[in-house]
Amino acid sequence: MDRIIVCVKPVPDPKAWERLRLDPVTKTLIREGIPSVINPLDKHALEAALTIKDAQAAEVVIMSMAPPASQPVLREALALGGDRAVLLSDKVFAGSDTLATSRILAAGIRRLGSFDLICCGNFTLDGSTAQVPSQLAELLGIPNIMHVSRMELGEGKRLMVTQKIEQGYVRLEAEPPLLLSFTKEANKPRFSSFLEILAAEKRELAIWTNAELNLAEGSIGLKGSPTQMADLLVRQKGRQGLRLEGTPEEMAHQLADKIHQLGLI
């Protein structure tokens, strides 16, 4: 492989989630003082790319759409082994839903030039929609496979991919160009090594704005987002304390309903 792109999203550190507060007026999250980390599943995506790089010498490019303050998170990705990083950042990108975000990432990727593989995390901790991987692939006109629980290099440029579905797996084979989104089953992300941290200091972190991407205003940001947020309600953090009533069998049945609603059965 020649080039693998890893999409990385900086998200609020899950260890600090308890401290996140919602601004009641703007209905946005107050992120001050909450450190950002690489979205955990993106680390599995990066690990997959680095595993290929270890075996075959490919260029691993980290790409992210995020505010400029996210540079340390991209540096972290470089310190894990990425060769270069591109941060797509512009005020006009703000407010993008998943489709608008995918347009921006697609434009960034097209500007890079050719690629063989794009690796993403299956979903992010904050948005959790899991929509960007398929949408990005669609806009780039390449196939994608979600829920990747295993990836192996096959003959030539072939990839043997296992996809996790309900109560089982699907084994697939595919060739580049391809987009894969990874689950945490896929691998164990490596730690940064100190030598890699030092080497990464010399690696390029470029910031591209819309001046470089030239996306029409109507296709990005709030204006370019088909979905809009109409309202945001903060749910009471306290436990609901719903007391079930009825005979033991009736209560067991109601309980089974609740478990079903969680999607666990």
Partner 1 sequence: MEKPQIWVFMEQRRGVLHEVGLELLGKARELAEASGGRVAAVLLGANVAVLTDRVIASGADLVLVAEHPALEPYRLLPYTAVLAQACREYQPSILLFGATAMGMELAPRLAARLHTGLSAHCIDLQLDGEGHLLQMVPGWGGGVVATIKCPVHRPQMATVMPGVMKKQETSQRYGEVIHLTIPEDLDVSGPRVLEVYREEPQAKPLEKAEVVVAGGVGIGGKEGWQLLEELAGLLGGAVGATRPPVDEGWALEEQMIGASGKTVRPRLYIGVGISGMSHHLVGMDGSEMVVAVNSDPKAPIFEVADIAVVGDYREIIPPLAAEVRKRLKGGDAP
Partner 2 sequence: MDFKLSEREELLRKATGELAESEITPKIDAMEETGEFPEDLLKPMAKMGITGLIASPEYGGVGLGYLARTIVLEELSRVSAAVSMGMQVHHMAIAALNDFGTGDQKKKYIPPLARGETMGCVAVTEPSGGSDVLGMQSTGELKGDKWILNGRKCFITNSHTSDYWLVIARTGEGPKGLSAFIVDKTAPGAKTGRVEHKFGLRGSNTGELVLDNCELPKENILGQEGGGLSVTLKTVSESGRTGMAAVALGILQACYEEAGKFASERVLYGKPIAALQAISFYMAEIYTELDICRLLCYRASWMKDQNLRFDTESAMAKSYTCEAAARCAKKAIEIHGAYGIMKEYKVQRLLRDAMVTISAGGTGEIGKVVLGRAALAPFQKKG
Give the residue with the Cβ less far from partner 1, 195 or 233: 233
DSSP tag of 189 = P
Of residues 169 through 198, those in contact with partner 2 by CB under 8 A are 191-195, 197-198
Find which of partner 2, partner 1, none residue 26 binds, CB within 5 to 8 Å per kind: none
**Per CB under 8 A, does 234 bind partner 1?**
yes
Chosen residue from 156, 167, 194, 201 binding partner 1 by CB under 8 A: 167
CB of 197 to partner 2, least distance (A): 5
Dihedral (C-alpha) 209, 87, 109, 198: value to the nearest 10 degrees?
140
Contacts of 67 (CB under 8 A, 6+ apart): 89
Taking CB under 8 A as the rule, does residue 57 contact partner 2? no
Map tokens 């090594």 to a residue: 193
Residue where the block lists tokens 């033991």: 248
Helix axes 71-80, 40-56, angle to 10 degrees: 40
Number of chain residues interacting with partner 2 (CB under 8 A): 12
234, interface contact from partner 2, partner 1, none, CB < 5-8 Å by kind: partner 1
Token pair of 36, please? Answer: 């950002």
> Site residues for partner 1, window 37-96 (CB under 8 A)?
none
Distance CA 200, CA 206 (A): 13
Which residue of 37, 48, 73, 161 would you call a contact of partner 1, by CB under 8 A? 161
The token duo for 29 is: 């999250």
Residues 199-218 binding partner 2 (CB under 8 A) are 201
Q: Does 75 participate in binding partner 2 (rule CB under 8 A)?
A: yes
Q: Cα(151)–Cα(260) distance, rounded to whole angstroms?
A: 31
Which of 5, 48, 79, 105 touches partner 2 (CB under 8 A)?
Answer: 79
Q: How is residue 176 written in tokens?
A: 């580049």
Binding site for partner 2 (CB under 8 A): 72, 75-76, 79, 191-195, 197-198, 201
